[in-house]
Structure 1
Amino acid sequence: YHIYNVNEKNPGFDEFRACFYSAQIICGLEHLHQNRIIYRDLKPENVLLDDDGHVRISDLGLATVLKEGCNQTKGYAGTPGFMAPEMLKGESYDFSVDYFTLGVTLYEMITAKGAFRMRGEKVDNNEVSRRILNDPVQYPQTFSEHCKTLCEALMAKDAAQRLGFKDGSCSEVKSHPFFKNLNWGRLEAGLVDAPFVPNPNIVYAKDIGDVGAFSTIKGIVFTNSDQEFYQEFASGKMPIPWQEEMIETGVFDELNSSGDKGSMPSDNEDGVQSKSGTCVLL
């Protein structure tokens, strides 16, 4: 959605923003691979942003775990246009397939089109597979040299030549010149500010169907007066899981408990400091 619909006249991200997201994805892939998990379905649709604009990798339904003592696996899994050549050829593969999908994802972040299939193009999967196996990727002139060489290294058709996870880490990828201005230590510690922070009052989706699977409240229709009332106190800082935790731990009952004969507890009772003596979950 953010690639294509936030700025429809100029879709895609600048390289600074694409670099930040790609770096956080690499941190996630490195962690998965250190735990012997092959993701197999990295694509922009499966990359979410949290409240602070940081990346969260989602949908591990196609992920697989390499058994101890086994360094490769087989199986056809993923999304057309993103699957690595070795997977398309039915060969055994390892973590390297995830770095091919990272290259395709980075390319799409910047160009707002697929590396092997343009958005909305009517082409069957066999043709997409043929392109992945045989055709070189075409890069617009807007690509910097460092970004181009990184994409080429990630989308190398020969897995042995592909940049990726080696010797237990992604140090080879992290040291690429495309990330030369990035402090990996600060990034992994969550100390690097995101280039874009979502507005908590905006739903970043064109259709309710895009977010229906993530919603915990369905079948409720808000009127204009409801929306106006909501805007008065909406901060985006009180997620439903937090409210549920307040109930489950007894904090809500404690703050709303009545004293003798229905009176409210004093401000200093049980260490609770509240002028109203009431806590309301919104």
Structure 2
Amino acid sequence: MGDLPGLNNLVANTAYLRAQHVHPDELRKQRLSLMLPKRKMSSALQAAAGRKYESLCERQLIGRKLFQQFLGAFNPQYRVTTEFLEELSDWSFAEDEAREKAKQSILAKFCQPESRSFLSYLTGEAAERCKSLSDNNFDMLGQIREATRDFLRGKPFSEYLNNVFYRFLQWKEYEKQEISDRYFYEFRTLGKGGFGEAGTPGYMAPEILRQEYSCTSVDWWALGCSIDEMVAARLPFKDFREKVQIEEVTRRTLEDDCKFEHKHFDAPTQDIIRRFLEKKPVYRLGCRSGDDPRNHAFFKSINFRRLEAGLWRPAWVPKSNVVYANDTDRFRDTSEVENVKFEAKDEKFYKQFSTGAVSIRWQKEMVDSGVFDELNRPNLNGRGCETAWESRTCIVL
């Protein structure tokens, strides 16, 4: 008896949904098999990781959390720097009354010499600015922040590198694991670290279709297509479920102008789509020097600082108990075009970009999913594993 149609898809979806409702204690038990690599395995990464404070302790989320944990445990003076920067960040994202309350807390807690959390590590002009900070000159807070960062770049950073930096290198060992064809299948199906829309018919920019040199300009074009699709439920040059040859979509992309026939295409929406869909990259929004699409009227209602900090509530949130895929089996071997066969040259090209995760996004996923907290416990760090971490998608979610 042959496999029932869709049985594999049903099993995969059921396993995925069950994984979303696993009890936290059970999830921790399952994660015990995940161990950071032994310290000796990470030595080769030290040179590649670099020794710049901004990269290791600010831009990379896992590096930042490890550095903050080190500061909090090393000595009280270092701990104050972490508290100050955290409250400063909270103030910068706060609004209205919450922002005023955060400001007064900073003034009372960090700028009064009699306070236990006074910024005693500051010296010279920075120390005097801190003591004199008030409602009237609160704009000088940025200078105090920079003085704090200068302090952290010195002795604290040096001590961090000589103490627990190896933990960061262990995480980099995991991060650098190669993305095999199995990883590509799992990540694309579950929406974890996909490879974008730039290579999908209907989203490809003219310079790609002409086989010309391209860079980030193709991403701005794809964003214009995505905005058009979100408004009208169709692509600019291809109708929803329209049966059309790829050659015709290519011709439309290279020659036709986009049409705005849907009632929700207001003036700002039409304008930003037109600017993103300029045929020549030199005229395209986002491609010119000093050009910031976030300043366009289309985005006037969005506070990008709060958005990037994860504090902006989206207009629509996908339901956690729904799998947004009709047939996950189709993702394994095909894309939008059926019966695509990979040749030797395709495999060679594939290996050129199958080199690991995108650092910032991967680290954020490890933190958000709780994997970082589980694996970073002291009683686990001394126990390594000789092999690379194998894919356990339903576990790490």
TM range (shorter): 0.3 to 0.5
Give the structure-2-normalised TM-score.
0.35
- By relative contact order (CA 8 Å, sep 6+), the higher-ranking structure is 2
Larger radius of gyration: 2
